[in-house]
Structure 1
Amino acid sequence: MDAVKLRVARPTRNLDAVVRFYRDGLGFEVLGGFEDHAGFDGVMLGHAGAPYHLEFTVERGHEAPRAPSEDHLLVFYVPDPEAWAARVRRMEAAGFAPVPSRNPYWDANGRTFEDPDGYRVVLQQAAWSR
């Protein structure tokens, strides 16, 4: 049986800026992309072999809305403290400063960063045990 894979797809206001955030800040790889597919341009970012990736699209002639709230999150659990600290340093070195989380739970063991569209990514220094 094939493993289930997850694609999170959403529109963006600025494809170049959002690629820089996820590629340069979070270390994602560009896995693919397309131009003018029925009026859409897009890029897929992820990690080779991982069971998930992100797709960002721009619809030509249409401006995507910003995130509807500060609590729209992608959470990445990084259990190793050194690996977690390295990821936070990478984000900061790429020019992305942490922001306070809307839900203070995420600030206790993590750092939250806001992408160019207002969506937030939490780097949580913990293991996911479920």
Structure 2
Amino acid sequence: MNHPVLRVARPTDNLPALLRFYCDGLGLQKLTSFAAHNGFDGAMLGHPQAPYHLEFTHQPGHVVGRAPTADNLLVFYLPDAVEWQAAVQRMEATGFMPVPSYNPYWDQQGRTFEDPDGYRVVLQQAAWAL
């Protein structure tokens, strides 16, 4: 059975700062990018073999603002403790420090980081399960 590929797309007012957060800090790769495509600039980030990617777009002259709440999350499950610790250290070495989670559940086994637009990413040291 084929499974769909997930694209999470959102606009930003600061594409370069988001690329630094998600690529340099989080370790995602820039899969492709575009400039002045129907009035938008953007980039798609992820891992080439992963069934998801993130798309960030910017429309010059249009203001989108920050995240509506501190509970807008992307959660990455990293069950391997060494891999999880390396991911947390990479974020901190890039200058992004953990923030307290709005929902304290995420602080029990994870670290939460806020991107330049106020959206939050949780690095959860656990296996994904329903």
TM-score range, shorter chain: over 0.9
Partner of 2:62: 62
Identity of aligned residues (%): 67
Alpha-carbon distance, 1:3 to partner: 2.7
Partner of 2:100: 100
The AA in structure 2 aligned to 1:87 is A
Partner of 1:111: 111
CA distance in 1, matches of 2:60, 2:90: 32
Aligned residues: 130
CA distance in 2, matches of 1:113, 1:40: 27
CA distance in 1, matches of 2:39, 2:60: 6
Alpha-carbon distance, 1:64 to partner: 1.3
Partner of 2:75: 75
1:75 alignment partner, SS class: strand
The AA in structure 1 aligned to 2:51 is P
Partner of 2:4: 4
Partner of 2:121: 121
The AA in structure 1 aligned to 2:81 is P
The AA in structure 2 aligned to 1:104 is P
Are 1:43 and 2:43 matched, yes or no? yes
CA distance in 2, matches of 1:120, 1:22: 11
Which segment drifts farther, 39-48 or 1-10?
1-10
Alpha-carbon distance, 1:65 to partner: 1.5
Alpha-carbon distance, 1:76 to partner: 0.4
* Shift >3 Å, 4+ stretches: none
For 1:84-99, list aligned pairs within 5 A: 84-99=84-99
Alpha-carbon distance, 1:38 to partner: 1.1
| Deviations 1:94-120 (CA, angstroms, capped at 9, x unpaired) | 100000000000001100000000000
Unaligned runs of 5+ in 1: none
TM-score, reference length from structure 2: 0.97
Unaligned runs of 5+ in 2: none
